[in-house]
Amino acid sequence: MKEKLIRDYIRDVTASIDALSEETIVEIVAVLEEARSHGKRIFLLGNGGSAATALHIANDLAKTTIQPGRPRIKATALTENVPIITAWANDTSYERIFAEQLENFCEPGDVVIAISGSGLSQNIIMGVQRAQEMGATTVGLTGFEGGELRDMVDVCLVVSSQAMGQIEDVHHAVGHILTAALSQPDSS
């Protein structure tokens, strides 16, 4: 029984990775390269497992992509400051935790990467809306059918899966794909 579950899980995650849109990933890399070349910041948002993925991707983008002679990527996850998250949740509402942080830091030309397996989390939706109002480019990483997030961001990568854990696994892999692509020496 457990062997079948393991085999099926691996098969399903592999199928979801195989179904990823390479064209969309290339488009996301281009958005991040543009931000890098203009000294813009990249903010990542997520809840639960996606909050951890946001932290991991921000870490990798800020550290692993360093190349001699190229600007560093200015990436940060808005999931890392628990006191500010809980202050905004307490004093306004949980739905505002990312929008309010973006209000402090986001500028035109920055990039906001919203990670939401369902694409329906209202704090993510409100954060993306505020980012767009402030002139940021928005990227979504989602799953299932993409939810509300799919149609509101500038670029969206939807993981073809109906299992949240597998969607989160693939989002994590996408973070490593983006980091690998952005770690290559400048070819221009």
What percent of the chain clears pLDDT 90, i.e. is strictly above it? 97
C-alpha 48/C-alpha 134 separation (Å) is 26
Is residue 50 a contact partner of residue 116, using CB atoms and an 8 Å limit?
yes
Q: Which domains does the chain have, with CATH numbers?
A: 2-182 (3.40.50.10490)
**CB proximity list for 93: less than 8 A, separation 6 or greater:** none
Task: Give 162-176 pLDDT, tens digit per residue.
Answer: 999 999 999 999 999
Task: Give 111-166 pLDDT, tens digit per residue.
Answer: 999 999 999 999 999 999 999 999 999 999 999 999 999 999 999 999 999 999 99
Check whether 43 has a pLDDT greater than 70: yes
Q: Can you give the pLDDT at residue 167? A: 98
Check whether 187 has a pLDDT greater than 70: no
Q: Can you give the pLDDT at residue 186? A: 73
Check whether 185 has a pLDDT greater than 90: no
